[in-house]
Structure 1
Amino acid sequence: MNELTKGAQLIPNGMLDDNYPRNMWWCAAHVDEVTDKPLARWLLEKPVVMYRKADGTPVALDNRCPHRWAPLSEGRVIDDQLVCPYHGMEFGADGVCTRVPTQKMIPKTARVQSYPMREAGRFLWIWMGDPDKIDHDPVDMGYQTNPDWSVVTAYMEVDANWVLIRENVLDLTHIAFLHAKTFKQGDWENPAEVSMEGETIVYRQDFEPSPLSPLFCAGFGFPDGKIVKREQEGRMPSLAVSFSDWNVHDIDAVPGERADYLVRGAHIVTPGKRGETHYFFAAAFDVPDVSDEVLEQTKANILGAFNEDKDLLQKIQALVSQDPRGLEFPEINLGADGAGVRVRQILKRKLDAERSA
């Protein structure tokens, strides 16, 4: 080991490789995206088509007809069967061909892979590994459908490996620098305290009274620049999902009035094609009936901030991909990387377990 590689990360994030555990729930779509019209999406480097049966049950299949490989997503759904646009072969929710228009005999191999799907919160989740390994539900997101909360969701495609996003949202010291003009939360220069609760990564941090980010003031009915006491808590119960809670205390609240509020960010990542990620996110205020106008403005402001992340992460991915040294370039850790290091440790354990099975 030379001087340049001393202190380098011993567990690389594998951002140039297939680093996607299969035996877990990944987010496939927003619940409203999947209808009786086929929806195509690349998930974990596979083309997938999704639709709903007449009773609302979501279905996910390989998006490639076994006859001449036409994308099934270009077809249509008839009586819960997905009809290939090329020669009219029909496939059921289990992926088995149920009809070949030009002949009575259906080849035994006429089938495509089907994938279990479940709904949680405002999202649909897919299991692309061994279905016999399903031993848990997707992460609980019941608050997103609770009428006592006001929720805004959004989506973007990012040309970067999913781990870059996951590490980014678990180390918020970048907010004081990358988001100086959007979040305007300049007191985030000290690293949070990081711990583990079982397999869940947890970070916590308290802040002295300071102006609340303008991204969230309107959701609580606060004026911009409102001075509040803030406690931050983040959790990553799954490699696919992390939450960022802004626990806000109104230091000016009079006795008898509400003083404590919560805005919860949900950061959901799913690998698409190699080096590309589907990034779903939600911001939820524990305040009912926030107006559509405020929610839309909140969404626009969050997208503005997250596009700053997207731009830089895409440049990191491109730089590493084009540099012939790739992942061999020395990489150091800082004190604020406690959560990111744990992400890599969990990822390595999951990948090792699947590869040795």
Structure 2
Amino acid sequence: MYPDEFPRNAWYVAAHSSEITREFLSRWILGDPILFYRTEAGEPVALVDRCIHRQMPLSMGNLRGDRVECGYHGLTWAPDGKCTRIPGRATIPDSVRVQSFPLHEGSGFVWIWMGDPEKADTSLIPDHHWYTADGWTTATGTQHMNARAQLLNENLLDLSHLSFLHLTSIGSPEIAETAVTVESDDTWVRVSRHMPRTVCPPYYVKVTGIDSDIEREQHADFFAPAFHTTTTTLKPYGDAGDERKCHQKTLHGITPETRTTTHYFWSVSRDFALDDEELTGYVSNSVSTVIGQDIEACEAIEHIIAAWEPSYPEELNIKVDGGPLRSRKIVQAMLDKERAEGVVGRPHNPSDSVARAAAEASTRRRQ
């Protein structure tokens, strides 16, 4: 079955760097509301978007320097989650906190770790340097999907759908008929196609200027649990050398919002026509449309799946499903491992128990 839960001890794209500013950004991730902002020094911050006093979203409050003031009763929280002010109270125990989340910013994305902070190893973040690297020009976007994230994971590993869903933009009939190779380990899947001769799809005619048959390669890389790099290379058919070879790197951050809704953070980088701003605008609009088609397909599938839950409709697997099914097994194995270790749902917040203990003590005094 398609997973509708995702591991917490993992890095997820939380935002494009440009999305996080001194203005509050509220975004749900893995079923939790998260408040993002930047300190005066420019560092990104992520706090749970709820005041533990009466659950008021902190994003409805005010930013006072680097601290967040709840808009309901004025409790104030530092970037590390510690409460620094309770109106009418002189001292505040260090244990009174809202949850903060580890972040890592680099190469255009801000990543968030939703699980045990002690396990937040930034070496686990996949390479995505093309987003901001010299010699590349990048278009970006953020879109939303009313379907579970795994549907996009599998969509991006089965590029045979380009021959049908995207035939008028990035696809051609030969793609679905070309054999694939699948490589994988416990955290990574690669699905590759080499097409020695194929027609140049309309999108690539526009962006590369090649209006003839091409030699094309595709590599779809999945980094569990929710990040993809799609590499497309093409050059005119018959070229002996690579002088006219064009490279495009598409990055996909597939971040679960809830069980059945998803954030889609994408970027498309190219190593040609670097200064053509009009072309970058065309890429941005075209890719947004293509991704919209993928989202529409996944939402339709989600509607069917939901009608069968908690059972599951019959499904036929074919040869090109090797990569997608492998990704499904990897995500499930990560979930099984966390459950065996006792990691279930959102992590424990010490402040919640402090609040509960205080409430119980108050109740006892009244009695």
Q: Aligned partners of 2:331, 2:228: CA distance in 1, in Å?
A: 14
Corresponding residue to 2:313 among 320, 324, 329: 329
Q: Aligned partners of 2:205, 2:322: CA distance in 1, in Å?
A: 29
Q: Aligned partners of 2:36, 2:311: CA distance in 1, in Å?
A: 35
Work out the percentage of aligned pairs sharing the same amino acid: 30
Corresponding residue to 1:210 among 198, 201, 207: 198
- Aligned position for 2:330: 346
Corresponding residue to 1:248 among 221, 234, 257: 234
Q: Aligned partners of 2:137, 2:205: CA distance in 1, in Å?
A: 14
- Aligned position for 2:38: 52
Q: Aligned partners of 2:83, 2:116: CA distance in 1, in Å?
A: 21
- Aligned position for 1:7: none
Corresponding residue to 2:181 among 181, 188, 193: 193
Whether 1:232 aligns to 2:221 is no
C-alpha deviation, 1:292, in angstroms = 1.9
Is the Cα contact below 8 Å between 1:243 and 1:266 reproduced in 2?
yes
> SS where residue 112 of structure 2 aligns?
strand
Is the Cα contact below 8 Å between 2:139 and 2:267 reproduced in 1?
yes
Corresponding residue to 1:176 among 163, 173, 178: 163
Larger proportion of helix: 2
The total of aligned residue pairs comes to 339
Residues 153-179 of structure 1: CA deviation (Å, up to 9, x unaligned): 111100000000000010011111122
Q: How does 1:21-60 map to 2 (within 5 A)?
A: 21-60=7-46
C-alpha deviation, 1:185, in angstroms = 1.8
Whether 1:262 aligns to 2:247 is yes
| Amino acid across the alignment from 2:189 | I
Q: How does 1:1-357 map to 2 (within 5 A)?
A: 12-15=1-4, 19-106=5-92, 109-137=95-123, 138-190=125-177, 191-196=179-184, 199-220=187-208, 222-223=209-210, 225-251=211-237, 258-287=243-272, 289-323=274-308, 325-357=309-341
Most deviating of 204-213 and 241-250: 204-213
**Closer, same or farther: CA 161–13 of 1 in aligned 2, 3 Å:** same
> SS where residue 118 of structure 2 aligns?
helix
Gaps of 5+ in 1: 1-11
Cα RMSD over matched residues?
1.9
C-alpha deviation, 1:234, in angstroms = 1.8
Is the Cα contact below 8 Å between 1:121 and 1:140 reproduced in 2?
no
Residues 1-42 of structure 1: CA deviation (Å, up to 9, x unaligned): xxxxxxxxxxx2233xxx110001001111011111111000
C-alpha deviation, 1:52, in angstroms = 0.7
Give the TM-score normalised by structure 2.
0.87
Q: Aligned partners of 2:135, 2:206: CA distance in 1, in Å?
A: 17
Is the Cα contact below 8 Å between 1:148 and 1:288 reproduced in 2?
no
Q: Aligned partners of 1:197, 1:250: CA distance in 2, in Å?
A: 34
C-alpha deviation, 1:254, in angstroms = 9.0
C-alpha deviation, 1:298, in angstroms = 1.1
| Amino acid across the alignment from 2:194 | D
Gaps of 5+ in 2: 342-367
| Amino acid across the alignment from 2:215 | K
Q: Aligned partners of 1:70, 1:199: CA distance in 2, in Å?
A: 38
| Amino acid across the alignment from 1:60 | A
